[in-house]
Amino acid sequence: MSVISRMEATPSRVRMLLAVLNERGAGETEERLRDFCSPATLLRDVPDPIAIFRSTLNAAKDLGLVEEVGDKLRVRPGVLSRRGDLGDDFFQAIEAVLLAPEAEQDLGQSDFARAVAWFLMQSPRRPLQWSENYKLWIEKQLAVPEAVRFDLTSRDRWNSFHYWCRFLGYGEVIAGRALVADPSRALQRLLPWALGGEREAAILPLLGSLAKVSPVFENGRIRREVEADAKPEFQREPQRLSPSTSFALFRLEQQRQLTLDARPDAHAMILDLGKDAPRRVSHVVIKAARS
């Protein structure tokens, strides 16, 4: 089941549950774990704290973070490293499941990845509001069967997607309520991997490497599937980057984290920064960290 459909299970709640189990290496019964995660003194005004706990626990199981051995629950072996950084381990485990690279097995969360790919097809100039149902947007933009909506079928499910998308760095919130298709934080994290230790790369092979690391960027396996279903008026021109990727690259350049070059006689892509501001890019150069 997609994490989107576990509406009460936010990243922070799943992380808290994992932290409690991590402190109890031998495992814990569900009843005692619920008492630790949902003490009555903290949840006096919560209508159904048990439902929240169970949804969070089920999400942790769906994500492959927690397993049941006998009558006890425990963190699945291999999820946490020996470095002792729960935050980094948790993030990497979530990213590996929700946005599995091409070489990794799909653990039943592909609806979330497809929802991210569709979201990144949206323009940053048109933020998507909190507590809206974007099912009709998907129907307008994509020629897909009625049953295919990537679990984005209600306002609550959109809100759930909102949390996980932000957590992974593919969207940013403005005015406290609207989600912008801005994968700047994801790109900042993934570009060094895509560059393979080099400081610069031509844009086309770089996009190919990025697509292998994250399937929701241009030419990634999930992005290809979703873009293939786009109706003619919503299709992306092959030589153009999507507005969201264009904005993220431009934003990182403005933050002086990279340089976008347009070299003569080199294959290039066009940044989509608005009708009056196209920009040709042939190479991406990562700036050295300041000492």
Q: pLDDT-derived band of residue 291, with 50, 70 and 90 as boundaries?
A: very low
How many structural domains does the chain have? 2
CB 130 within 8 A of CB 177: yes
Q: Please identify, among 73, 98, 123, the residue that sits at the C-terminal boundary of a domain.
A: 98
Residues 149 and 280 reside in one and the same domain = yes
Residues 64 and 137 reside in one and the same domain = no
Name the more confident of 158 and 85. 158
Question: What is the residue range of 67's domain?
Answer: 3-98
Burial class (CB in 10 A: 0-12, 13-18, 19+), 23: exposed
Q: Please identify, among 74, 98, 122, the residue that sits at the C-terminal boundary of a domain.
A: 98
Residues 123 and 265 reside in one and the same domain = yes
Residues 41 and 168 reside in one and the same domain = no
**Which pLDDT does position 29 carry in this prediction?**
93
Residue pLDDT, tens place only, 111-159: 999 999 999 999 999 999 999 999 999 999 999 887 788 999 999 999 9
**Which pLDDT does position 229 carry in this prediction?**
96
**Which pLDDT does position 51 carry in this prediction?**
84
Choice among 37-41, 139-143, 162-166 with the minimum mean pLDDT: 37-41
Averaged over 3-24, what is the pLDDT?
92
Candidates 257, 254, 248; CA nearest to 288 is 257
Residue 3, pLDDT > 70, answer yes
Residue 165, pLDDT > 50, answer yes
Residue with tokens 């729960």: 86
**Which pLDDT does position 244 carry in this prediction?**
97
Q: What is the mean pLDDT of the chain?
A: 89
**Which pLDDT does position 69 carry in this prediction?**
92
**Which pLDDT does position 107 carry in this prediction?**
65
Residues 129 and 271 reside in one and the same domain = yes
Residues 42 and 59 reside in one and the same domain = yes
Residue 73, pLDDT > 60, answer yes
Residue pLDDT, tens place only, 251-286: 999 999 999 999 999 999 999 987 767 799 999 999
Residues constituting the chain: 291
Averaged over 47-71, what is the pLDDT?
88
User: Residue 62 is part of a domain; what is its CATH number?
Assistant: 1.10.10
**Which pLDDT does position 197 carry in this prediction?**
87
Classify strands 258-261 and 200-202 as parallel, antiparallel or unpaired: unpaired
Q: Quick one: three-class SS letters along the chain?
A: CCHHHCCCCCHHHHHHHHHHHHHCCCCECHHHHHHHHCCHHHCCCCCCHHHHHHHHHHHHHHCCCEEEECCEEEECCCCCCCCCCHHHHHHHHHHHHHCCCCCCCCCCCHHHHHHHHHHCCCCCCCCEECCCCCHHHHHHHECCCCCCCCCCCCHHHHHHHHHHHHHCCCCEEECCCEEECCCHHHHHHHHHHHHCCCCEEEHHHHHHHHHHHCCCCCCCHHHHHHHHCECHHHCCCCCECCHHHHHHHHHHHHCCCEEEECCCCCCCEEECCCCCCCEEECEEEECCCCC
Above pLDDT 90, what percent of the chain?
74
Taking the CA atoms of residue 60, residue 65, residue 70 and residue 71 in that order, the dihedral angle to the nearest 10 degrees is -40
Residue 290, pLDDT > 60, answer no
Calpha distance 275→52 (Å, rounded):
46
Residues 172 and 226 reside in one and the same domain = yes
Residues 69 and 112 reside in one and the same domain = no
Residue with tokens 């929802």: 115
List CB contacts of 44: < 8 A, sequence separation 6 or more.
none
Residues 92 and 141 reside in one and the same domain = no
Residue 41, pLDDT > 60, answer no
Task: Taking the CA atoms of 135, 140, 142 and 147 in sequence, report the sign of the dihedral they define.
Answer: positive
Name the more confident of 176 and 223. 223
Calpha distance 234→121 (Å, rounded):
9
**Which pLDDT does position 278 carry in this prediction?**
78
Residues 91 and 220 reside in one and the same domain = no
Longest dimension (CA), the chain: 67
Residues 162 and 45 reside in one and the same domain = no
Q: Please identify, among 35, 70, 98, the residue that sits at the C-terminal boundary of a domain.
A: 98
Residues 72 and 118 reside in one and the same domain = no
